[in-house]
Amino acid sequence: MQTNPERQKQFEEQDRRIQENLKKIRHRIVVFSGKGGVGKTTVAVNLAFALMKADKKTGLLDADITGPNVLKMAGITGQPFMDGQNQILPMQKEGLQVISMAAMLPEDQPVIWRGPLRSGAISQFLADVIWGDLDYLLADLPPGTGDEVLTAAQRMRPQMAIVVTTPQEVSLLDCKRAVTMAKKLNVPNIGVIENMAGLICPHCEKTIDIFGKGGGERMAKEMDVRFLGKIPMELATREGGDTGEPPVLTRPESGSARAFLSIAEAIGKILK
C-alpha cells in the first residue's frame, strides 16, 4: 500500500508534466453544461473545427470519460499511438488533434468508474498526451458540476469557460448553476452559447422556436457574462453528428456552420 508521501510525489510529478504541456498551449477552454442533452459535444466539436478553419492549431480533449462521443461526432476512427516513453500521440482529422477514452475501449464497453478514476484519466490525458504547440485546447466536459469539471478547471487552468444551454427554462436553470460554478473557480472569461435556438424548416426556411426564444441571451445578461451566440437547429447538424460529418466541415454554408464560425471569431477576439 502506498504511503501518502508516495502518492503526493506521484501527483507532483504528474502536475509537472501537465504544466510542461500547458506551457506550449496559448489558450485553454472548457466546454460544459448544467445538464445533458443540450448539444454540448456538438458545440465542442464544431467550435474546434471552426478554430482550425481560422488557421489556429487546435486540440480537443474528450473529458466525458463515461460518455465519450467526440470521436463519433468528429468522424475519427482507430486508436492513438504510444511513443517509446509511454506518451500518447493524439488522433487527428483535418489537423485537429483529439484524444478520447472511446478510442481505448470496445464500442459497447461501459466505463464503470468512480469519480477519482475518471478525474485521474483526465489528468493523464493532460500529462501524457503529446499535444505540442497549440493555439487552443478545448476540453469537452460531462454535464453537471461534478468531479471531472473540478479536475479540468484545477489542472488545466482555463482562460475561458463556455456554458452550453438551450432556450428551455429547465436548461437555463441548470446553466445558471454552471455559470456560478465557473465564477467560483475563478475562470476569467465565461461565455454562454444558446444551442437549438429555433428549428429552421428545411422546406420554407422559417424558424420554429420549439424550446422558446432568447432565454440564453437573457440569462447571460442577468448573470453578467458574455453571450457568444445562438446555434439554430438543423437536420444537417443532427445527421452530421451521427455520420461524423460536422457541418463546419461539410456544410459551411448552413446556418449552424456560419454561427460556429462567428463564435470562433468572437473567441479569438476575447482570448488575444
**Segment 33-92, tens digit of pLDDT:** 988 889 999 999 999 999 999 999 999 999 999 999 999 999 999 888 887 677 999 999
Q: Looking at residues 166-183, what average pLDDT do you find?
A: 87
CATH code at 230? 3.40.50.300
pLDDT of residue 1: 46
pLDDT at residue 109 is higher than 90:
no
What is residue 3's predicted lDDT score, i.e. its pLDDT? Answer: 58
Lowest-confidence segment of 21-35, 147-161, 196-210 by average pLDDT:
196-210
Residue scoring higher pLDDT (216 or 189) = 189
The three state secondary structure string of the chain is CCCHHHHHHHHHHHHHHHHHHHCCEEEEEEEECCCCCCCHHHHHHHHHHHHHHCCCCEEEEECCCCCCCHHHHHCCCCCCEECCCCCEECEEECCEEEECHHHHCCCCCCCCCCHHHHHHHHHHHHHHECCCCEEEEEEECCCCCCHHHHHHHHHHCCCEEEEEECCCHHHHHHHHHHHHHHHHCCCCEEEEEECCCCEECCCCCCEECCCCCCHHHHHHHHHCCEEEEECCECHHHHHHHHHCCCHHHHCCCCHHHHHHHHHHHHHHHHCC
pLDDT digits (tens, 9 = 90+) for 197-231: 877 777 787 777 777 677 889 999 999 999 999 99
Number of structural domains, the chain? 1
Question: Which residues constitute the domain of residue 89?
Answer: 4-270
Entry pTM: 0.93
